[in-house]
Amino acid sequence: MEGASVVGVGMTDFGVHDQPLPELFADAAFEAMDDAGADADVIDAFYLGNAMGGQTESDTHLAPTLASHIGLAGIPCSRFEDACATSSNAFKHAVEAVRAGTHDVVLVGGVERCTPSTGLETPEMTAIFASASHRQYEQPTGLTFPGVFGLLTTRHMHEHGTTEEHLAEIAVKNHANGTLNSRAQFGKETTVEAVLDSPVVASPFRLLDCCPFSDGASAVVVANAAGASTLTGDPVTVAGVGHATDVIPLAEKADLTATQSARDAASQAYEQAGIGPADVDVVELHDCFTGAEVLAIEALGLVEDGEGGPASARGETALDGRIPVNPSGGLKAKGHPIGATGAAQIVELVEHLRGEAGERQVEDASTGLAHNLGGDAGTTIVSILEVAR
Amino acid sequence: MEGASVVGVGMTDFGVHDQPLPELFADAAFEAMDDAGADADVIDAFYLGNAMGGQTESDTHLAPTLASHIGLAGIPCSRFEDACATSSNAFKHAVEAVRAGTHDVVLVGGVERCTPSTGLETPEMTAIFASASHRQYEQPTGLTFPGVFGLLTTRHMHEHGTTEEHLAEIAVKNHANGTLNSRAQFGKETTVEAVLDSPVVASPFRLLDCCPFSDGASAVVVANAAGASTLTGDPVTVAGVGHATDVIPLAEKADLTATQSARDAASQAYEQAGIGPADVDVVELHDCFTGAEVLAIEALGLVEDGEGGPASARGETALDGRIPVNPSGGLKAKGHPIGATGAAQIVELVEHLRGEAGERQVEDASTGLAHNLGGDAGTTIVSILEVAR
Angle between helices A260-273 and A290-299 (to 10 degrees): 50
Is the previous residue joined to B249 through a cis bond, with omega within 30 degrees of 0? yes
Residue B374 to chain A, least CA–CA distance (Å):
8
B84 is catalytic: yes
**Mean pLDDT over residues A43-59, rounded?**
98
CB-based contact (8 Å) between B251 and chain A? Answer: no
**B 152-211 residues with CB below 8 A of A?**
none
CATH architecture of A4-119+214-237: 3-Layer(aba) Sandwich (3.40)
**Contact yes or no for B369/B345 (Cβ under 8 A):** no
Express as a percent the part of chain A with pLDDT over 70. Answer: 100
Backbone angles phi, psi at A200, to 5 degrees: -70, 130
Q: Give the C-alpha separation, A315 to B295, whole Å.
A: 64
Per-residue pLDDT band at A149 (split at 50, 70, 90): very high
* Interface test with chain A among B52, B81, B93, B137, by most A beta carbons within 10 Å: B81
Is the previous residue joined to A140 through a cis bond, with omega within 30 degrees of 0? no
If you measure CA to CA, which chain B residue comes closest to A93? B93
Looking only at the bridges linking them, the beta strands covering B77-81 and A77-81 are antiparallel
CA distances from A298 to A154, A260, A365, B246, B277 (A): 16, 11, 21, 46, 57
**Mean pLDDT over residues A348-370, rounded?**
98
**Mean pLDDT over residues B135-161, rounded?**
97
Residue A385 to chain B, least CA–CA distance (Å):
19
Looking only at the bridges linking them, the beta strands covering B45-49 and B77-81 are parallel
Express as a percent the part of chain B with pLDDT over 70. Answer: 100
Q: Give the C-alpha separation, A38 to A234, whole Å.
A: 12
Q: Over 80: is that where the pLDDT of B341 sits?
A: yes
Q: Where are the domains of chain B?
A: 5-119+214-236, 142-212+240-386
**Mean pLDDT over residues A87-110, rounded?**
98
**B5-119+214-236 — its CATH code?**
3.40.47.10
Amino acid at A257: T
**Contact yes or no for B168/B195 (Cβ under 8 A):** yes
Q: Over 80: is that where the pLDDT of B389 sits?
A: no
- Residue A81 sits at the vertex; the CA angle it makes with A372 and B238, to the nearest 5 degrees, is 115
**Mean pLDDT over residues A264-281, rounded?**
98
Q: Give the C-alpha separation, B311 to B318, whole Å.
A: 10
pLDDT of A2 reads 77
Query: For B258-299, what is each residue's pLDDT tens digit?
Result: 999 999 999 999 999 999 999 999 999 999 999 999 999 999
If you measure CA to CA, which chain B residue comes closest to A241? B76
| Secondary structure class of B233 (helix, strand, coil) | coil
pLDDT of B163 reads 98
pLDDT of A1 reads 63
Instruction: Give the CATH number of domain A138-211+240-335+348-386; options: 3.40.309.10, 1.10.150.130, 3.40.50.300, 3.40.47.10.
Output: 3.40.47.10
Q: Is the pTM of this model over 0.90?
A: yes
Express as a percent the part of chain B with pLDDT over 90. Answer: 99
Per-residue pLDDT band at A127 (split at 50, 70, 90): very high
**Mean pLDDT over residues A337-350, rounded?**
98
| Secondary structure class of B131 (helix, strand, coil) | helix
- Residue B63 sits at the vertex; the CA angle it makes with B73 and A61, to the nearest 5 degrees, is 165
Query: For A194-223, what is each residue's pLDDT tens digit?
Result: 999 999 999 999 999 999 999 999 999 999
If you measure CA to CA, which chain A residue comes closest to B87? A78
Per-residue pLDDT band at B1 (split at 50, 70, 90): low
CA distances from A336 to A10, A55, A333, B171, B227 (A): 16, 17, 9, 48, 39
Q: Over 70: is that where the pLDDT of A177 sits?
A: yes
**Mean pLDDT over residues A114-127, rounded?**
96
CA distances from A341 to A213, A330, A332, A372 (A): 12, 9, 11, 8
**Mean pLDDT over residues A38-62, rounded?**
98
Superfamily name with CATH number, domain B142-212+240-386: Thiolase/Chalcone synthase (3.40.47.10)
Burial class from Cβ neighbours inside 10 Å (0-12, 13-18, 19+) for residue B181 reads: buried
